[in-house]
Structure 1
Amino acid sequence: MRKLCKNIIVLYGLMTFSLSVVAQVDTLKTSTLNLLKGKVLEGDTIPHVYIKEVQVSPPWKFKNKRQHKRYSRLVINVKKTLPYARLAKRRLDAIALALDTISGEKQKKQYIKIAEKELFEEFEKPLRKLTFSQGRMLIKLIERETGDTSYKLIKDLKGGLSAFMWQSVARIFGSNLKTEFDSEGDDRMIEHIIMLLDNGVL
């Protein structure tokens, strides 16, 4: 029962702001052509290519075996939850666009209700497999990717009462929907791991 409740909290946190169907996300993707630009230098046309910036980070220096063990656990949890957090970002962008095309509060609420049901069916099973620590990691990474805490996202979409209720339930299990990501402080190690993942090192 405890595992069910804690995973429902995580599921609800993701669902409340990722309420757009996969098809809607796909329609936002536009095909782009890799055009090679030229630069004229002393009469000659030189290819001019913009290369994506790659952040370089030195290996993490561990103070002791305990910190190394914590780092290893964080790698597992980040790998598991970062895709969900980034999916949430894409869904949030999609729902914002979708709601802009719907007139009337009643119609918007109906849209949210239907989409929420569809997403519950889609994500219930995979999110139930998250551990308690992965659930807390997901809440933190959602804030990193979207710029808003899960509490604020729930409040914006479902209202202050719903946000208060789910925050109260989350606190019972040691979680906090108001958790913010601190890349320069407590979450420096997590930020380091994400950077290595993005660069294909991990």
Structure 2
Amino acid sequence: MKILKTAYISCFYLLLFFLTGYAFTAKAQEVYPPEGSILILPQNTHYQVVNGDTIYMVELPNIQVTRKRKRYPERPLTLQERREMWRLIRDVKKTLPIAKELSQTLIETYEYLDKLPTDKARNKHLKLLEGVLKEQYEPQMRNLTLRQGKLLIKLVARQTNQSSYKIVDAFFGGWKAFWWNSFANMFGASLKTEYNPKYNKEDALTERIIRLVEAHRL
């Protein structure tokens, strides 16, 4: 089990570097956003270049208004269901901050690399970034269970609005995406995992917990 967990952590650490470094590969460096273009950034964040100025736009989250629940008799949760619920709450509280940090790191690095004059300077910064990421996130990854690692993949998809597989495929090519996904499959994970609270009951419950955590109600 220790070998299994170590291998899974190594795989997931490399995925973290992909997620934070994918925007700075050759494909992303070919052309900076041309005049009038819009680049979609994680979690409903955009920027548009107008007359040489970068204008940032953030979509504020919608406020959900729900009907008062009717007092239908409900089956009480079993002991196992209650344990699963509290385990998910614990896992969300542990992994959500990491997913948000990764999203913010991506945005900040976009801004920093935009100021660097050459590809050589950007590549040099990427090498430094890899060391920083390893130092910053490896201790956190080693404290995650396999279950929490899978949830973190989902929450990263939530923050970036796309699956990890699509990110790796778009910026590192289909072969690397296939290889890393196959490697993740060996440990019961998938880089193709998406986050869809509208149609997935498990994701809907996760999203409800996230909203409560963000509102400081859990």
Q: TM-score, normalised on structure 1?
A: 0.73
Quote how far apart the aligned CAs of 1:96 are: 2.2
Which piece of structure 1 moves more, 161-170 or 94-103?
94-103
Find the residue that maps to 2:11 and give its secondary structure.
helix
For residues 65-144 of structure 1, the aligned pairs below 5 Å read 65=78, 66-144=80-158
1:12 to 4, 11, 14: 14
How far apart, in 1, do the equivalents of 2:99 and 2:162 lie?
12
Once residues 103 and 160 of structure 1 are traced to their aligned partners in structure 2, the CA distance between those partners, rounded to angstroms, is 30
Distance 1:116 1:165 in 2: 21
- Cα distance, 1:148 vs structure 2: 1.9
Letter in 2 for 1:118: V
Using the alignment, how far apart are the partners of 2:10 and 2:88 within structure 1? 22
What is the 5 A alignment of 1:20-31?
Answer: none
Q: What's the CA shift for 1:12? A: 2.0
8 Å contact 1:144–1:181 — kept in the other structure? yes
Larger radius of gyration: 1
1:121-200 to structure 2, matched below 5 A, reads 121-184=135-198, 185-186=200-201, 187-200=203-216
What is the distance in 2 between the residues matched to 1:53 and 1:167? Answer: 34
Displacement of 1:83: 0.3
Question: Greater relative contact order: 1 or 2 (C-alpha under 8 angstroms, separation 6 or more)?
Answer: 1
In the alignment, the residues of structure 2 paired with residue 8 and residue 183 of structure 1 have an alpha-carbon distance, to the nearest angstrom, of 28
Q: Aligned AA for 2:115?
A: T
Q: Distance in 2 between matches of 1:190 and 1:62?
A: 21
Contact kept in structure 2, 1:13 and 1:139, CA below 8 Å: no
Q: 2 CA distance for matches of 1:126 and 1:72?
A: 21
Name the SS of the counterpart of 2:144 in structure 1.
Answer: coil
1:183 maps to amino acid:
P
Q: Following superposition of structure 1 onto structure 2, how do residues 58-69 of structure 1 map, counting pairs within 5 Å?
A: 64-65=77-78, 66-69=80-83
Query: Percent of counterpart pairs with the same letter?
Result: 33
Counterparts in 2 of 1:126 and 1:119: CA distance versus 1, 3 Å: same
Paired residues, what number? Answer: 170
The 2-side partners of 1:108 and 1:168 are apart by 30
Amino acid at match of 1:150: S
My pick for the range that moved more, 91-100 or 190-199, is 91-100
Alpha-carbon distance in 2 for matches of 1:199, 1:138: 20
Alpha-carbon distance change, 82 to 190 in structure 1, aligned in 2, over 3 angstroms: same
After superposition, the CA RMSD in angstroms is 2.7
Q: Is the 8 A contact 1:8 1:128 kept in 2?
A: no
CA offset digits 1:15-59 (Å, max 9, x no partner): 22335xxxxxxxxxxxxxxxxxxxxxxxxxxxxxxxx97656789
Call closer, same or farther: CA 1:67–1:53 in 2, change over 3 Å: same
* 1:113 Cα offset (Å): 2.3
What residue identity is the alignment partner of 2:207?
E
Structure 2 length as normaliser, TM-score?
0.68
Equivalent residue letter for 1:195: R
In the alignment, structure 1 segments of 5+ residues that lack a partner are: 20-51
**Structure 2 residue ranges without an equivalent (≥5):** 22-60
Distance (whole Å) between structure 1 residues aligned to residue 174 and residue 120 of structure 2: 18
